[in-house]
Structure 1
Amino acid sequence: MTPAERERLLVRILDALSDPRSAMAEGRPHHKAKVRAIDMLTLHFGSTGRVIYLAEELAVLYPGEEVFAPDILAVLDVPQPEDDPRMAWVVADEGRGLSMVLEVLHQGNRNKDLVANVERYARLGIPEYFVYDRLRQQVHGYRLPEPDAARYQRIVPQMGRHASSVLGLDLAVVGDRLQFFHGMAELFGSADLIGRLKGMMESLEARTEQAQAQAEQAQAQAEQAQAQAEQAMAGLREAILAALSMRQIPCQDEARARLLACQEPATLQRWLLRAMSAGSLDEIFAE
C-alpha cells in the first residue's frame, strides 16, 4: 500500500468512526456486557496460553468494503500485544480476516445486527458470528458450514449453549448475563474473581476469628480445670491435716512442707487414707 493509499484509508476510517450514527452509544448495559465479555475472554486465553487476538470496537476494513467496528472481534493465531498500536484491522495489511465477531444488542438497530450483519459477515468469510441480545436475554449464533461458503447456518444450541468452534467455548445466557463455558466450567471476569477472592478472604477471616475464639475458650476451660484441680488438692491437704489433728498426731514443719508441696492428687489421696489409720507420720508419708 502506497503512502497516498494509506492516507486515503486513514481518512476513510476516521470518517467512519466520527459518524454520529456509528458513535451513538447504547448505554451502560451495552457497555458493561461488552466489557465483561472481552474481560472473560482475555483472562481465559491469557491463562491457557492460546494465541488469539481480541479487540473491542476496533475499526475493520476489508478490501472494497465500508469500514465497520464490531463490539468484539477475534482473530486466531495472532498474538495479543500488551500495548496494541493498531488503530484499525486492515485485512490487506494483516493478511487475514476476522475469525469471529460478537455483537451486543441492547437498544440498537436490530435489523443491522440480526439481518444485515448476518449477510455481510458471511459474505466476508468470517467463520462465526454471535449476537448477544441483552434486551431479550438471547444468544444468536451463526457459522459458515464450509470455508468457501457465503451464507451462514444457524448454530443450534445444545442444552441452552451455543458452541463456538473458533473460541473453543460455549456461549449461554445465565440469569441476566452472557456467560462463557469451557467444558462444564464457567469463565470468570476480573470483577467475578475479585468478588470470589474477597469472599474467600472474608471466610478465612471468619474461620480465623472462630479458631481464635475456640482457642481462647479452650484456654479458659484449661485454666478453670487447673483451678478446680488446685482447689481439690487444697481440700485433700486440709483433710489430711484435720485427720492428723483429730488423731492427735503432730505434723512437724518438714512433713507440713512436704504436704503443701505435693501436686499429685493420687499421692494426696493415698496419704489421706493412711492418715485415717496410721499411727505416725512416717507411716503416712512412707514411699
Structure 2
Amino acid sequence: MAIGPPSLRSASIEPADVRAPSQAAWDKMTQDERMRAVMALPVATPVDVRPPEGDAYRKVKTGALQALEAFFRRLKQRVYVSSDLAVYYPNETRIVPELFVVLDAEPRDRTKWVVSAEGKGPDFVVEVFTSPEAGKEREAHVDRYAALGISELFLLDRTRRWLRGYRLPRPTARSYEPIPLEEGRFTSNVLGLDLTLEGPRLRFLYGTAPLPEADETITRLGAMLNEAVVMKEEAERRAVDEERRAVEAGLRAEEALKLAEEIKQRADEEARKAEEEGERAAVTEQRLAEALSELHKLKGWE
C-alpha cells in the first residue's frame, strides 16, 4: 500500500449552488412545505459534475456497498448504506459521496438524503478516485467533510492503489486526524470493521475474516450447489447400484431355492424308488421262501 498525500476527485462535490433550506428555515416549515422542499431538490448528478468512470471504478463501489449491506443485514442492525446519492446538508451545496453509511437509519430505498428530513448526516464516507488532483483541492475536500461533521472519511486511489483514513477526534470536532495504518489495515470505529486493499479492491474485515462481496457469495453458492448436485447424483448412483445388487442377490437366492427344491424332489424320488425296490425285494424274498418251503415238502413226500 503506497504512502503519500491523497487527492480527492473534485467531482465528489457538486459545484452548482443547489442547497437545502437552512435549519432555521426548515424548523419554521409545515410538514407539507418540508415535503415540497425535499421533492424540489435535484436527484440526478450532472455528468459534468461526476463523469462516468468505467466498469472497474463501478465494481469497486458496488462490491463494497453490497458487502456492507449484507453484513449489517445479517446483524439485523438499522444501518443505511448507499452510493452516489446526493446528500443535502442545511444551506450547503450538495455532496455526492461514492459510498456512505448512516448508523441508526432505516435501510429503505431513497433517491436523495436530506439531513434535515432524516435527522442526521452520513457517519462514514468512502471516496474513490482515479486521477490525482492538486493538493489544495484535496485539502478543500477533506476540510469540507470534516466541517460537515462526518465522523470518518476514507480516500481510495484505485489507480495508485493506496488507501487513507481520517477521523474526527470527538463528535464536536471539525478537523480530521489521520487514522493510523496498523498491520496493513485501517480501523473504522464507526463500522466496527477494518479496511484494507486487495489490489484495486477495497475490502472490509470483521476480525480476520473479509466480508464477502456479491460475486464471491454467488461463486461460493454456485460451488455449494455444484457439490450438492454431485452428491445427489452419487447418492442416486449408489441407490441404483444397491437396488441392482439386491435384485441380483434376490435372483441368486431364488435360483438357490429352486435348486434346493429340485434336489429335494430328486432325493424324495430316489427314496421312493428305493422304498419300492425294497418292497419288491421283500415280496421276491417271501416268494422265494414259499417256493423253498414247497420244495422241502415235496422232497418229504418222496
TM-score, L = length of structure 1: 0.69
Q: Contact 1:179–1:187 (CA<8 Å) still a contact in 2?
A: yes
Q: Report the counterpart of residue 222 of structure 1 in structure 2.
A: 246
- Give me the whole-angstrom Cα distance separating, in 2, the residues matched to 1:87 and 1:28: 23
Q: How far does the alpha carbon of each residue in 1:146-201 deviate from its partner, in whole angstroms, 9 at most, with x for none?
A: 23334322222333332211112222224653222233443234444333333322
Q: Which moved more, 1:70-79 or 1:151-160?
A: 151-160
Establish whether residue 100 from structure 1 lines up as the match of residue 124 from structure 2.
Answer: yes
Counterparts of 1:128-207 in structure 2, within 5 Å, are 128-174=152-198, 176-207=200-231
Q: Contact 1:114–1:131 (CA<8 Å) still a contact in 2?
A: no
Q: 1:250 aligns with which of 269, 272, 279?
A: 272
Larger Rg: 2
What is the CA distance between 1:35 and its match in structure 2?
1.8
Of the two structures, which has the highest relative contact order with CA contacts closer than 8 Å and spacing of 6 or more? 2
TM-score, L = length of structure 2: 0.66
Q: Report the counterpart of residue 51 of structure 1 in structure 2.
A: 78
- Give me the whole-angstrom Cα distance separating, in 1, the residues matched to 2:193 and 2:138: 22
1:26 partner amino acid: E
- Give me the whole-angstrom Cα distance separating, in 1, the residues matched to 2:59 and 2:117: 31
Q: CA RMSD in A?
A: 3.7
Shift in CA distance, 49/7, structure 1 to aligned 2, threshold 3 Å: closer
Q: Which moved more, 1:69-78 or 1:129-138?
A: 129-138
Shift in CA distance, 42/16, structure 1 to aligned 2, threshold 3 Å: closer
2:107 partner amino acid: Q
What is the CA distance between 1:234 and its match in structure 2?
4.0
Q: Contact 1:138–1:173 (CA<8 Å) still a contact in 2?
A: yes
Q: Report the counterpart of residue 17 of structure 1 in structure 2.
A: 45
Q: Report the counterpart of residue 290 of structure 2 in structure 1.
A: none
1:80 partner amino acid: P
Q: 1:42 aligns with which of 69, 79, 83?
A: 69
Shift in CA distance, 7/201, structure 1 to aligned 2, threshold 3 Å: closer
Shift in CA distance, 212/21, structure 1 to aligned 2, threshold 3 Å: same
Q: Contact 1:55–1:73 (CA<8 Å) still a contact in 2?
A: yes
- Give me the whole-angstrom Cα distance separating, in 1, the residues matched to 2:266 and 2:51: 100
2:159 is paired with a residue of what secondary structure? coil
Q: Contact 2:64–2:202 (CA<8 Å) still a contact in 1?
A: yes
Q: Contact 2:78–2:106 (CA<8 Å) still a contact in 1?
A: yes
What is the CA distance between 1:137 and its match in structure 2?
3.6
2:156 is paired with a residue of what secondary structure? strand
Q: Contact 1:52–1:78 (CA<8 Å) still a contact in 2?
A: yes
Q: Report the counterpart of residue 151 of structure 2 in structure 1.
A: 127
- Give me the whole-angstrom Cα distance separating, in 1, the residues matched to 2:84 and 2:265: 95
2:231 partner amino acid: R
Shift in CA distance, 211/56, structure 1 to aligned 2, threshold 3 Å: same
- Give me the whole-angstrom Cα distance separating, in 1, the residues matched to 2:225 and 2:60: 27
What is the CA distance between 1:239 and its match in structure 2?
4.5
- Give me the whole-angstrom Cα distance separating, in 2, the residues matched to 1:133 and 1:210: 49
Q: 5+ residue gaps in structure 2?
A: 1-24, 279-302
1:22 is paired with a residue of what secondary structure? coil
2:66 partner amino acid: D
What is the CA distance between 1:38 and its match in structure 2?
1.6
1:172 is paired with a residue of what secondary structure? strand
Q: 2:87 aligns with which of 60, 63, 77?
A: 60
Shift in CA distance, 5/43, structure 1 to aligned 2, threshold 3 Å: closer
Q: 2:97 aligns with which of 59, 70, 91?
A: 70
- Give me the whole-angstrom Cα distance separating, in 2, the residues matched to 1:26 and 1:9: 29
